[in-house]
A and B are shown apart, each in its own frame.
Chain A
């Protein structure tokens, strides 16, 4: 009964958000998330069940928020890097470094949690800055520059932990990935805070404009007086910071720093989240909230497959199919073609200028080759 009411409330809120976003780029991302959730509402028993446990909410959707936080944090940094026409492959390794540094300082060196966390974040910013120096300072291609740290970073993390899995029980550290605030996982607050910070940075100052212009055309931006190097350096450092936070959340979640596995392949998830969120890998226009929703979408998909008990041997297949579908849905030209197949008579849907105007129905020899 309670479930029924809360579900209805959820869908009313979700529907109005979707209505509000009509016509915007991220409509399709949120729409895809909506469809996945709708599928779960009807076909995955227990997915929408929500209950109160120890004074906080407990359910599959809460898991999605908590487990998805890592990719969401990464995608915030990644989306800015991608907007400048770059890519940051090192975020997974930076997560491992942050986890290794914090737990090493906490457990082996017996330093207070606040200091360990701060040190881990500083190291992550430095790691991001290193990428920034390689890309902006020496003009190395981003994919190559960040590949260096992606490969080497995990080794650095192993070195810091001396190849061991370090366990900790410090309440502050454990709170980061397991704590609850306002009956919701603390990680959600963290993600929203970071979104606020990123939003302020790029939409309330000129930095966002600079990032887009650098991504569109670095040369032209330089001629118009934008310091492209500084902008690039900044986004890589910010990406490092986001990765550091994600690393802290990841190790806190399992109360141990597992240098070899924390953040493994997550850089790919983060890139995927950005793409699903509607940002082009070519740089330029970017969508902060889109990237977050993209991250949420990927986690929802993962949790759905767990909840439906899809065998792990085949689970990559449905995952790939759904993601292909979402990417197609976002493609303008695919949507036009689809519309033409579904309603062949309504030629109005064609974007203006994409094709020469044609006569409506008469079958001529030149018309019959189409559709």
Chain B
């Protein structure tokens, strides 16, 4: 008796879902009359506040311009992203845009897109390919420059004398590689500044905290007087670990991180974070400007850098209300 009633309920549910799908399909069929621009976008994931702001900006801008956006979340896995791009090719979208999870391994799928005649726009992160014609343009921040700015800020905070603990981003990702590169480039000019510990915190708060806890237990933990985190979320996690260890973040250990999310401005207002180097996530408007040009076969530059600044504690209170993310 019980089983049959469960069975009946599931049949009813199935019928209901089918009905829903049908109405959706009808709506879709009605839409196609106007010939909207169809854009497939594959996002890295929603690993940080920065990323969700980026997603939000892209989605709302697409809606504003009446673009049919096919959005796919890769949950930080390259396999998912390659699958998503393949499905965009199969769907025959007009333009494919994506933020690559890692730098390498996209060559085959990008070749498929090229064969299908679909232009590819990279957003926020770059890829390493032997054939640059595999993508049309790359819009995003200059991560190496962000690393340089972070190092300069830290040099100013510590007077050029620092034993630095570094929280690296996801291993193999473009921002992690380039931010480290830019940071170390500037560090070479300061003989008294050196990185004494470096570990990946995977761009997340939980890992940032866990790794900082381990850093603070090392025998030379007392020497740490500066922290460079590749993103704000890891810095926020590390701040908690410091507080629990009885260390004053922002004073005992100077902290510089990258991104400029709301949480970072709140921490700066409380004096727990010293500097955040902005990495602007609101790429939606700039991205769709490029996408529309690409779709109309207009010429676009190969590299477009987004607009960004550097903020410290003094500016935090004034800037905080303006932060949407």
Contact = CB atoms under 8 A, between A and B. Distances in A.
A49 B218 CA distance: 9
A314 to B, nearest CB: 10
Given A154-B75, A163-B55, A260-B47, A303 B219 contact: no
9 contacts: A53-B246, A63-B213, A165-B48, A250-B206, A253-B206, A255-B240, A261-B206, A309-B199, A311-B198
Report the 10 A-B pairs with minimum CB-CB distance, sorted nearest first.
Answer: A312-B200, A306-B214, A46-B219, A260-B46, A45-B219, A261-B204, A254-B205, A60-B217, A163-B52, A254-B206
B31 to A, nearest CB: 25
A311 B17 CA distance: 50
Given A165-B48, A312-B200, 6 more contacts: A63-B210, A165-B263, A253-B209, A254-B237, A260-B45, A312-B171
Nearest to B49: A165
B197 interface: yes
Given A163-B52, A306-B214, A256 B205 contact: yes
B47 A60 contact: no
A58 B245 contact: yes
Interface of B: 3, 6, 45-49, 52, 55-56, 75-76, 168, 171, 197-200, 202, 204-206, 209-211, 213-215, 217-219, 221, 233, 237, 240, 244-246, 263
A53 B217 CA distance: 13
Report whether over half of chain A's contact residues are helix, strand or loop; otherwise say mixed.
Answer: loop
Interface string A149-163: 000001000100001
A47 interface: yes
Interface of A: 45-47, 49, 53-54, 58-60, 63, 67, 137, 154, 158, 163-165, 167, 178, 250, 253-256, 258-262, 264, 303, 306-307, 309, 311-313
B58 to A, nearest CB: 12
A21 B102 CA distance: 46
A115 B3 CA distance: 34
Contact of A60 (B6, B204, B214): B214
Contacts of B217: 46-47, 49, 59-60, 63, 307
B246 A54 contact: yes
Contacts of B49: 164-165
Nearest to B172: A313
A96 to B, nearest CB: 11
A312 B167 CA distance: 10
Contacts of B215: 306
Q: Which of B214, B233, B240 has the most CB of A within 10 A?
A: B214
A49 B46 CA distance: 37
Contacts of A46: 217-219, 221
Contacts of B219: 45-46, 49
A312 B206 contact: no
B257 to A, nearest CB: 15
A254 B209 contact: yes
A309 B75 contact: no
A311 B180 CA distance: 14
Contacts of B45: 260
B210 A67 contact: yes
Contact of B211 (A47, A49, A167, A306): A306
Q: Which of B205, B217, B237, B244 has the most CB of A within 10 A?
A: B217
A171 B24 CA distance: 46
Contacts, number: 87
B263 A167 contact: yes
A306 B46 contact: no
B21 to A, nearest CB: 17
B289 to A, nearest CB: 24
Contacts of A137: 3, 6
Nearest to B10: A138
A309 B240 contact: no
Given A54-B246, A163-B55, A165-B52, A307 B263 contact: no
Contacts of A260: 45-47, 75-76
Nearest to B6: A137
Contacts of B233: 165, 258
A295 B206 CA distance: 18
Given A254-B240, A307-B217, A312 B199 contact: yes
A307 B6 CA distance: 53
B234 to A, nearest CB: 11
B198 A309 contact: yes
B198 to A, nearest CB: 7
Contacts of A158: 46
Nearest to A137: B6
A256 B246 CA distance: 21
B60 to A, nearest CB: 13
A44 to B, nearest CB: 9
B282 to A, nearest CB: 15
A258 B204 contact: yes
Contacts of A164: 49, 52
A232 B56 CA distance: 42
Nearest to B169: A312
A296 B298 CA distance: 59
A53 B221 CA distance: 16
Given A258-B205, A261-B47, A309 B218 contact: yes
Contacts of A253: 206, 209
Contacts of B76: 260, 264
Which of B52, B76, B206 has the most chain A CB atoms closer than 10 A to its own CB?
Answer: B206
A53 B200 CA distance: 27
B245 A53 contact: yes
A163 B53 CA distance: 9
Contacts of B199: 306, 309, 311-312
B268 to A, nearest CB: 15
Contacts of A258: 204-206, 233
A303 B199 CA distance: 12
Nearest to A307: B214
Contacts of A60: 214, 217
